[in-house]
Amino acid sequence: MTKIPPYFSGFDVKEILTDHPIDKEFTDKFIAMSKDELRSIQEKKFLKCVNRAWNIPFYEKHWKRDGLVPGDINKLEDIVKIPTFDKKDLMNSIANNPPFGDFSGTHMNEDNHNHAVMHTTSGTTGAPQVILFSPKTREIQNLLVARAYLWQGLKGSDIVHSVYGHGMVNAGHYMREAIIHFTNAILCSAGTGLETRSTQQIGIMQRFKTTVLIGFVDYIKRLAQVAHEMGVEPGKDIPIRIISGHFGLEDRNEISNLWGGAECFDWYGVGDTGIICSEGPDHDGMYIWEDAHYLELLDIESNKPVNKGEQGNVVNTVLFKDDLYPMIRFNTHDISAFCEEQNNIKLPFRRLKKIFGRSDNMIKLKGINIFPNGIGKVISERDETNGEFFCKAIRDSSGRDQLIVMIEVNSPKSNNIEESLKSLIKSKIGIEVIVELYKPGQLSDLTEVEKRQKPIRLKDTRYE
């Protein structure tokens, strides 16, 4: 019998689709499931992850420092006893145990190590962080993305255009695998503007009559502007009907209108965990894939559970990562809140509201917490702007902190526009800022909007 290669021997596709169904099987299984039954599934998966983590040096050291010993965690409610960790802990692990860290659950220097798929983060704030997937966890996160797309209306006849980046980062590869492994749609994996020029991307979409556009919203917005500059009419020359991306505080009506009335869907995940939740056809919050994740919202300062309705850091435990690289109480530092109302679809899953920002990308200025995405939302309300902006926190010679908000405007610069934007930002954000106006495209070297999946929106120079 022919030996099955390491990747394909690492999972049973029928088994993972039974545990985490997609398409019609997804709704059939979970609409009929009670919250108690779902909780029982979560607890079983959680305890398996905990048992595995005790055999991995990273967790053993991390947990023992907090006084935990094997046997302390016996049920899902015990999760609050476990200390959280974040990217800084992972980077320290890599620094102390280069190049893979001690969280991988295998020995990469051995020929027969557990099979691993490796990617890294983009390295925006420092050295890129290693991210590892076993074949099973890789394919589960792929099918969960496919679940979202199919639920949002993806069909086999769709032409999907992806602007997620490739290279060492995970996203472009991950979306490619999700669509070609678990759907029948045709994928054009174009990548960022650095990989495929924006004008060329519009040409591809026009040629193949793209119907679904996926990626980060900043660049999706930029592509619509490029299309108009080229005399191409989105919605007519490019028949986009679905946009599935990461909206956060972005105005989805604006994005929809730019693309000829396309239906917009939000979803959320991070590199280490894969997709966590997704908006469904009811457009009523993002449904947490609770067969695959257990989510907590913790206070930014105290790290304690937030009160009902309050915002907090998203802390995630991946219930299917029980082999190579467990993720137990990972603090993403993304800020959200739970939807409190019952959903109309009758799924037992909880829902997240939009992502409001990042607690580790928040700056405190004059006693007020400021998120760059919040400023972006305010700016997008004005027709004079194209939505592109860059924030720079400075400390002047007198020691006073200031925020410069650099904004691209479509109309000629004028004191009226500048003062109007300053007034608008102050009324919505609560502080007075310095506004600088720029022509369209002038901030692209700072934001890198055509090069990166997530544009740079903030530079804090106060401590340089």
Per-residue pLDDT averaged across 453-461, rounded? 83
The percentage of residues in the chain with a pLDDT greater than 70, rounded to a whole number, is: 97
Choose the most confident range, by mean pLDDT, from 175-184, 247-256, 348-357: 175-184
Task: Compute the mean pLDDT over every residue in the chain, rounded to the nearest whole number.
Answer: 92
pLDDT tops 60 at residue 1: no
pLDDT bin (cut points 50, 70, 90) of residue 126 is low
219 touches 449 (CB < 8 A)? yes
Task: Sketch out the chain's domains with CATH numbers.
Answer: 1-357 (3.40.50.12780), 362-460 (3.30.300.30)
Q: State how far the Cα of 330 lies from the Cα of 327, in Å rounded to an integer.
A: 6
Q: What is the mean pLDDT of residues 422-427?
A: 89
Q: What is the pLDDT of residue 372?
A: 81
| Distance (Å, whole) CA 124 – CA 126 | 6
Q: pLDDT at position 16, please?
A: 98
The secondary element (H helix, E strand) that includes residue 90 is helix 87-96
Tokens of 150: 């199919």
Distance (Å, whole) CA 143 – CA 198 = 29
Q: How sure is the predictor about 251, in pLDDT bands with cuts at 50, 70 and 90?
A: confident
Q: How does residue 400 score in pLDDT terms, banded at 50, 70 and 90?
A: confident
Asked which of 100-114, 154-168, 304-318, 413-427 is least confident by mean pLDDT, the reply is 413-427
Longest dimension (CA), the chain: 77
User: How far is residue 176's CA from residue 367's CA, in Å, rounded to a whole number?
Assistant: 44
Q: Compute the average pLDDT of residues 233-255.
A: 93
Which of the 8 DSSP states describes residue 4?
Answer: P
Residue 339: its pLDDT value, please?
Answer: 97
Average confidence (pLDDT) over 176-197: 96
pLDDT for position 310: 94
First vs last Cα of the chain: how many Å apart? 63
HEC string for 37-81: HHHHHHHHHHHHHHHHHCCCHHHHHHHHHCCCCCCCCCCHHHHHH
399: pLDDT strictly greater than 80: no
Mean pLDDT for 210-220 is: 95
Query: What is the predicted pLDDT for the residue at 98?
Result: 93
Q: For position 367, what pLDDT does the model report? A: 65
Residue that the structure tokens 């990042």 belong to: 358
Per-residue pLDDT of 264-310, as tens digits, reads: 999 999 999 999 999 999 999 999 999 999 999 999 889 999 999 99
Say what the pLDDT of residue 32 is.
87
Instruction: Give tens-digit pLDDT for 329-379.
Output: 999 999 999 999 999 999 999 999 999 888 777 777 766 777 787 788 788
- By CB atoms closer than 10 A (0-12, 13-18, 19+), residue 264 is buried
